[in-house]
Structure 1
Amino acid sequence: MKTKQTIAIVGATGKMGAALAKSLAKSSYRLLLMGTDEVKLQSLYEQVQKIHKEVDADWILCPIDASWEADIIVLAVPYTAEKELARKIKAVSTGKIVISISNPITPDFQGSLLSEHDSAAEELQALLPHSKVVKAFNTTFAANFGQPIFSGQRADCFLAGNDEEALKQTQALVQEVGFKPVIAGNLATRRTLENMQILLMQLGIKNHYNWRAGWKILHD
């Protein structure tokens, strides 16, 4: 019998974290919802239970304890919070998959906070050298999780990572959420993926997409 994996969503009460948690309510994973606001966590837990009363989920206030229990750790936090979290969970994330969903965008949405040769994912991998960092969900908006289909087309979710098995496991997770996974390559492609979403944010603001937009590769 296949062992159920535990996914810790660190930052579960944020828009992306909550959207991911709700999308996984009926999944084959055990969910561990982590946040710093107990009232918001309890509310999210109740919402997840309403989606699926048999959901295997719990909530927790400590990112270290959450990461220690998890097989897969999703850092559903802004780029500016990743470094501090990485230092906290480094000792308990050895050998585990750590998913970075962040985009290092400036407050005015005009560009990246990083130089053209750097990326949030590679910074995170350097901070967690013994973890398997995967870039995923950064090319999607929170509003897309509940409805990932646009005009009959399922939105793509791009992945990047250096560990093949970690990519396969993340690919399965993406499928359970409802997106079509596209493995873009190793972390060398990370900057492209982060810039893709920065561009989509800029286009969304300009063209009033109301945070409902996604990427799709069309091919024969």
Structure 2
Amino acid sequence: MAKTSIAIIGATGNMGSAIAKALAKGPYRLLLFASDKEKLEALKNNIIAATPSADLECTGCPVDASWEADVIIPAVPYGAEKEVVEKIKSVATQKIVISIANPLNESYNGLVTAPGTSAAEELQKLLPDSKVVKAFNTTYAADFAQPVINGQQVDAFVAGNDDEAVDMAKELVETAGFHPIVAGELTVSRTLEAMQLMLIQLTIKNNYNWLAGFKILHNHQ
């Protein structure tokens, strides 16, 4: 059976590199793209040193990476997503696209999306023929290296309208070391993005050092 291929666009950023390092431990083929080729090569060497079994390839073009991939992760800030999408739209048809972005304003005291929508829903509008799913937006980059905080495994929320895409995102969340929680349809992304805005505000206020996450405590019946 062919390996699932995952394109990470913006692989050398904080989140992109954290996701790449985590998913390299799984049974996937990673296609990494970033505009800085030296940084990308350094990331590749770093991953192979930590995970010699990693199956990954650096690519000089986001379109080539996305064309070959089953799953596309635009690991770029919300403001840069539109530009990435315009490049990959023609090759993203029927593919799973994971929205990790949080549409934060510059002062971290609000979201730039209009009420009644979310970054994930806006991405779905830009890619009407793709299966957009929200994941990894409530997990800091530092959490990937330490997905168990204070003895508790960090929860990571997944939201989407397509069952196949949601299942794939759940699998990736588990591979990365988090506990996946399917939160609902893509519209739930509005809540998830607002939750991360609050966590960022609390992190700044209480000096969590960008290592913090959500945990839902419940009674196991």
Q: Distance in 1 between matches of 2:54 and 2:212?
A: 29
SS of 2:138's partner is: coil
- Cα contact 2:117–2:187 (8 A) shared by 1: no
2:165 equivalent in structure 1? 166
Deviation at 1:108, TM superposition (A): 0.8
Distance in 2 (CA, whole Å) between partners of 1:54 and 1:180 is 24
Distance 1:188 1:120 in 2: 10
For 1:215 and 1:64, the matched residues in 2 are separated by 34
Q: Which residue of 2 aligns with 1:143?
A: 142
Q: CA deviation at 1:25?
A: 2.1
Residue 206 of structure 1 is matched in structure 2 by 205
Instruction: Give the number of equivalent residue pairs.
Output: 219
Q: Identify the residue that residue 193 of structure 1 maps to in structure 2.
A: 192
Distance 2:53 2:218 in 1: 39
Deviation at 1:84, TM superposition (A): 1.3
TM-score (norm 1): 0.98
Matched, 1:130 2:129: yes
Query: In the alignment, does 2:50 pair up with 1:51?
Result: yes
Partner of 2:71: 72
Counterpart residue identity of residue 215, structure 2:
K
Task: Give the aligned residue type for 2:65.
Answer: A
Q: What is the identity, as a one-letter code, of the residue corresponding to 2:140?
A: F
Q: CA deviation at 1:218?
A: 0.3
Which residue in the other structure is 1:115 paired with? 114
Runs (4+) of structure 1 exceeding 6 A deviation are none
Aligned to 1:91: 90
Gaps of 5+ in 1: none
Q: Is the 8 A contact 2:14 2:141 kept in 1?
A: yes
* Shift in Å, 1:54: 2.3
Aligned-pair identity (%): 56
User: d(CA) in 2 for partners of 1:5 and 1:208?
Assistant: 38
Q: Retained in 2: the 8 A contact 1:37–1:61? A: no
Is the CA contact 1:97–1:133 (under 8 Å) kept in the aligned structure 2? yes
Segments of 5+ residues of structure 2 without an aligned counterpart are none
Equivalent position SS for 2:217: coil
Paired with 1:28 and 1:178, the residues of 2 have a C-alpha distance of 14
Native 8 Å contact 2:120 2:133 kept in 1: yes
- TM (norm. structure 2) is 0.97
Amino acid at match of 1:132: K
1:52 Cα offset (Å): 1.3
Q: Deviations over 1:94-131 (max 9, x none)?
A: 01000010000011111101122121101100110000
* Cα distance between partner residues in 2 of 1:154 and 1:82: 30
Deviations 1:153-183 (A, max 9, x none): 1000001111011101111111111000101
- For residue 153 of structure 1, what is the aligned residue in structure 2? 152
Query: C-alpha root-mean-square deviation of aligned residues, in Å?
Result: 0.8
Contact 1:25 1:51 (8 Å CA) reproduced? no
Q: 1:86, CA displacement in angstroms?
A: 1.1
**Conserved 8 A contact 1:139-1:157:** yes
Measure how far apart 1:26 and its partner are: 1.8
Q: How does 1:24-63 map to 2 (within 5 A)?
A: 24-63=23-62
Determine the C-alpha separation between the residues in 1 that align with 2:168 and 2:114.
Answer: 30
Distance 2:67 2:137 in 1: 24
